[in-house]
Amino acid sequence: MSGTVTVVGLGPGSDELIVPAVISALNQATDIIGYFRYIERLQNLQNQTLHASDNRQEIERAELALSLASEGKTVVVVSSGDPGVFAMASAVFEALEKNTGYKKNTKIIILPGITAILAASARLGAPIGHDFCVINLSDNLKSRNIVEKRVTAAAQGDFVIAFYNPRSKAREKQLERTFLILKKYCEPSRLVIFADAISTKNEKVIITTLEKADTNLASMKTLVIVGSSSTKEIIGTSYVYTPRYAIEEKN
């Protein structure tokens, strides 16, 4: 009898933001698979077998999950945030597509979680109150050329843009190059938000402008939000919001 693979997200950092359905799935699992830092977050587990691995072993984790499920195990694969947003859900389906033996007999369940853009938006007020997009600045799985094309399109479309994985030791200049593109299409006063370690005890939020933004403030734990032309900060408060309406520019 085939088991199940449930892919879950542990939210942005706070245990309070792990949704109840995910907690239930973890408690019912026979095996839990994930990046070791996410496995370390899990508490009050009882008899589950834990399979921790390093950061860039997504496909290996997915293949292990499918293999264990084929043995009748109840497997949970953990991600941070939401499993479908730059996380393990895609990796599981990539592995499923390549392994024909698992396709008919493996039940896969994806449980939604709270991703960083939602947590940061709630913390700030409503910066994604109108059209927005999300771009992963990591070029591990796509070229810089593709990254820059997407940043350009988002800026030209006047979206609120949320940038995941904005800066790391291996990509110290990625966010800097991104801001240079934005400055071609956006006014210097465009709001920029650095939401670092959102929802954790180390949370730090900085609201600045594109002209003044310091890319050194960002790390892999930072979500960077660049507002649209209508995004505004309410003076005298820490709230940022984007109005529900959009005004079309006249040529």
Is 246 a domain residue? no
How far lies 134's CA from each of 103, 129, 154, 164, in Å?
30, 14, 9, 7
Instruction: Let me know: does 118 contact 199? Beta carbons within 8 Å.
Output: no
At residue 10, the pLDDT reads 97
Strands 240-241 and 232-233: what pairing?
A: antiparallel
Q: Letter for the amino acid at 241?
A: Y
Is 48 a domain residue? yes
At residue 250, the pLDDT reads 61
Q: What CA–CA distance (Å, rounded) separates 38 from 41?
A: 5
At residue 139, the pLDDT reads 81
Same domain as 66, residue 23: yes
Can you list the alpha helix ranges (DSSP code H) found in 71-115? Answer: 88-98, 100-103
Same domain as 208, residue 235: yes
Instruction: Let me know: does 171 contact 139? Beta carbons within 8 Å.
Output: yes
Using the 3D structure, point to which of 87, 114, 141 is the last residue of a domain.
114
Same domain as 237, residue 122: yes
At residue 249, the pLDDT reads 67
Tens place of pLDDT per residue across the chain (251 aa): 679 999 999 999 999 999 999 999 999 999 999 999 999 999 888 889 999 998 889 999 999 999 999 999 999 999 999 999 999 999 999 999 998 777 777 899 999 999 999 999 999 999 999 999 999 998 888 899 999 999 999 999 999 999 999 987 767 788 999 999 999 999 999 999 999 999 999 999 999 999 999 999 998 889 999 999 999 999 999 999 999 988 776 65
Same domain as 59, residue 157: no
How far lies 92's CA from each of 34, 80, 247, in Å?
12, 15, 41
How many domains would you assign to the chain?
2
Assign residue 212 the CATH number of its domain: 3.30.950.10
Longest dimension (CA), the chain: 65
Is 98 a domain residue? yes
Same domain as 110, residue 123: no
Is 234 a domain residue? yes
Using the 3D structure, point to which of 114, 135, 165 is the last residue of a domain.
114
At residue 251, the pLDDT reads 58
**237 CB-near residues (< 8 Å, 6+ apart):** none
Buried b or exposed e, range 203-218, using 16+ CB within 10 angstroms: bebebebbeebebebb
Is 247 a domain residue? no
**90 CB-near residues (< 8 Å, 6+ apart):** 84
Domain that holds residue 220: 117-241
Q: At what angle do helices 144-156 and 174-185 cross, to 10 degrees?
A: 30
Q: What CA–CA distance (Å, rounded) separates 21 from 25?
A: 6
At residue 89, the pLDDT reads 97
Using the 3D structure, point to which of 114, 137, 162 is the last residue of a domain.
114
Same domain as 129, residue 202: yes
Is 39 a domain residue? yes
Same domain as 143, residue 53: no
Same domain as 121, residue 107: no
How far lies 132's CA from each of 135, 158, 180, in Å?
10, 9, 20
Same domain as 121, residue 237: yes
Is 49 a domain residue? yes
Instruction: Let me know: does 174 contact 167? Beta carbons within 8 Å.
Output: yes
Assign residue 17 the CATH number of its domain: 3.40.1010.10
Q: What CA–CA distance (Å, rounded) separates 66 from 73?
A: 9
Is 250 a domain residue? no
Strands 74-79 and 31-35: what pairing?
A: parallel
